[in-house]
Amino acid sequence: MKLGIVGLPNVGKSTLFNAITKAGAESANYPFCTIEPNVGVVAVPDKRLDVLREVYNSKKNVPTAIEFYDIAGLVKGASKGEGLGNKFLSHIREVEAIVHVVRCFEDENVVHVDGEVGPSKDIETINLELIFSDLELIERRLFKTQKGLKADKSLKVELELLTKLKETLEDGFSARTIEFNDEEIKFVKSLNLLSFKPIIYCANISEDDIVNGNENNYVKEVRKIADTENAEVITICAKIEQEVSELEEDEKEEFLNELGLKESGLDKLIRSSYHLLDLISFLTAGPLEVRAWTIKKGTKAPQAASKIHSDIERGFIRAETIAFEDLKEHRTMAAAKEKGLVRLEGKDYIVKDGDVIVFRFNV
């Protein structure tokens, strides 16, 4: 899973990226300090692996991972090549979802690129640049489709969809605000529109606000916009995330408890990412390792098996499956089998989050 962290210059993108990946991207109080997208791979915290490792006496845990891309700050006119616009837009095309960091705090020591904090205006600036870029693509595709329609009448449906997209974009709304049926979604996804990518608005608030659980008016602005796009919103404090990232694992929980926080911003972001992209994890376990594997919700057993190896999908026979909670309670597969909790599932079985699976196959 690849997530692109975007936002205007000086909103806390690189600070957040550093905190969640410990990759050390340069952060400074001026625009464009991040020119190439820094990439960091983050292990997805999953306490279920610790339990399974104990049950199986495994040598190691292998969590699933997310790739975060810290993409250069954007300014008005990026779609026309202003600032680092062309690089910014091409890098967004490579990610599956966008994490849009929005400044929701006042600090006279940190310059705002427009002179004052204004989440609505900041969001509009970036969204419009994505929309302008998409419009260019749609107009080229429309021209091609209109020419082809003379010889192929089946292109009429495509023409109607492209026209609908063009009108929405010209009205200043992102492609993700349109409702499509399953067939239409397939076509729209093939266009790789920037404004159709799923988005999480990450409201970067002050230390006081995060500790006191305050949702300031800036955050309310962000939520109002997100509601129109079916987007996710989380609140984080990039400064606190930076402090958390410098602690040892056993110190992190204590530090968060002292601040009265139930979870870190990274945990919030990962949870929102999974929800936004309809992702779940299934688990495999044995004496060598216990491992989490990320799949789309609704994936059938053979396709889930292909995450491990294509041969397992090709030679799939069955999946021996048990819910994690059942295995946790009974501690061994043998005890769980006695209770009838281990199931034999076929090719049509839809894998559930937390399934512990042994795939049987023959190649």
- Are 217 and 337 part of one and the same domain? no
Within-domain flag for 287: no
Instruction: Give yes or no for residue 75 having a pLDDT over 80.
Output: no
Instruction: Give yes or no for residue 27 having a pLDDT over 60.
Output: no
pLDDT of residue 26: 54
> What is the DSSP secondary-structure string of 186-230?
HHHHHTT-GGGS-EEEEEE--HHHHHHT---HHHHHHHHHHHHHT
| Per-residue confidence band for 76, with pLDDT thresholds at 50, 70 and 90 | low
C-alpha to C-alpha distance for 358 and 227, rounded to whole angstroms: 41
151-189 pLDDT, tens per residue?
888 889 999 999 999 999 999 999 999 999 988 999 999
Lateral strand order in the sheet of 38-43: 38-43, 65-70, 2-6, 97-103, 199-204, 232-236
Instruction: Give yes or no for residue 24 having a pLDDT over 70.
Output: no
14 labelled binding-site residue:
yes
pLDDT of residue 73: 57
Question: For residue 311, how far is the Cα from the chain centroid?
Answer: 29
* Residue 313 belongs to domain with CATH number: 3.10.20.30
305-323 pLDDT, tens per residue?
999 999 999 999 999 999 9
pLDDT of residue 35: 44
- Are 263 and 321 part of one and the same domain? no
Distance separating the N- and C-terminal Cα atoms of the chain: 29
pLDDT of residue 180: 92
Buried b (16+ CB within 10 A) or exposed e, 318-335: bbebbbbeebbebeebee
DSSP summary character for residue 175: G
Percent of the chain with pLDDT over 70: 89
Check if the beta carbon of residue 176 is closer than 8 Å to that of residue 197.
Answer: yes
- Are 268 and 352 part of one and the same domain? no
11 labelled binding-site residue:
yes
| Per-residue confidence band for 34, with pLDDT thresholds at 50, 70 and 90 | very low
Dihedral, 135, 116, 14, 194 alpha carbons, nearest 10: -10
Q: What is the pTM of this model?
A: 0.84
196-234 pLDDT, tens per residue?
999 999 999 999 999 988 889 999 999 999 998 889 999
- Are 227 and 261 part of one and the same domain? yes
Phi, psi for residue 130 in degrees, rounded to 5: -65, -40
Both tokens of 5, joined, read: 């962290």
DSSP bridge pairs for 359: 319
Phi, psi for residue 183 in degrees, rounded to 5: -65, -40
Could you tell me which residues come within 8 angstroms of residue 294 by beta carbon, excluding any fewer than 6 positions away? Answer: 1, 44, 64, 279, 280, 281, 307
C-alpha to C-alpha distance for 285 and 224, rounded to whole angstroms: 44
- pLDDT (average), residues 135-157: 90
Check if the beta carbon of residue 279 is closer than 8 Å to that of residue 294.
Answer: yes
- Are 102 and 164 part of one and the same domain? yes
Instruction: Give yes or no for residue 79 having a pLDDT over 70.
Output: no
**Mean pLDDT rounded to a whole number for the chain:** 87
Evaluate the CA torsion angle 352, 353, 354, 358 in order and state its sign: positive
In terms of residue numbers, what domain contains 222?
Answer: 2-276
pLDDT of residue 153: 82
Lateral strand order in the sheet of 279-285: 60-62, 289-296, 279-285, 355-361, 316-323, 343-345
pLDDT of residue 77: 56
- pLDDT (average), residues 265-277: 89
Q: Which range (18-32, 208-222, 241-255, 260-274) has the least confidence?
A: 18-32
- Are 74 and 23 part of one and the same domain? yes
C-alpha to C-alpha distance for 336 and 325, rounded to whole angstroms: 11
pLDDT of residue 37: 61
Tell me which residue has tokens 């890098």: 91
Check if the beta carbon of residue 195 is closer than 8 Å to that of residue 176.
Answer: yes
- Are 208 and 318 part of one and the same domain? no
Instruction: Give yes or no for residue 348 having a pLDDT over 70.
Output: yes
| Per-residue confidence band for 10, with pLDDT thresholds at 50, 70 and 90 | confident
- Are 271 and 303 part of one and the same domain? no
C-alpha to C-alpha distance for 283 and 293, rounded to whole angstroms: 6
C-alpha to C-alpha distance for 75 and 68, rounded to whole angstroms: 21
- Are 191 and 158 part of one and the same domain? yes
More confident: 86 or 131: 131
6 labelled binding-site residue:
no
Domain count for the chain, please give it.
2
pLDDT of residue 201: 96
DSSP bridge pairs for 289: 60
13 labelled binding-site residue:
yes
Could you tell me which residues come within 8 angstroms of residue 312 by beta carbon, excluding any fewer than 6 positions away? Answer: 302, 305, 306, 359, 361
C-alpha to C-alpha distance for 176 and 146, rounded to whole angstroms: 24
Question: For residue 115, how far is the Cα from the chain centroid?
Answer: 30
Percent of the chain with pLDDT over 90: 56
Instruction: Give yes or no for residue 29 having a pLDDT over 50.
Output: no
* Residue 89 belongs to domain with CATH number: 3.40.50.300
- Are 51 and 190 part of one and the same domain? yes
- Are 37 and 160 part of one and the same domain? yes
Most confident of 88-97, 270-279, 343-352: 343-352
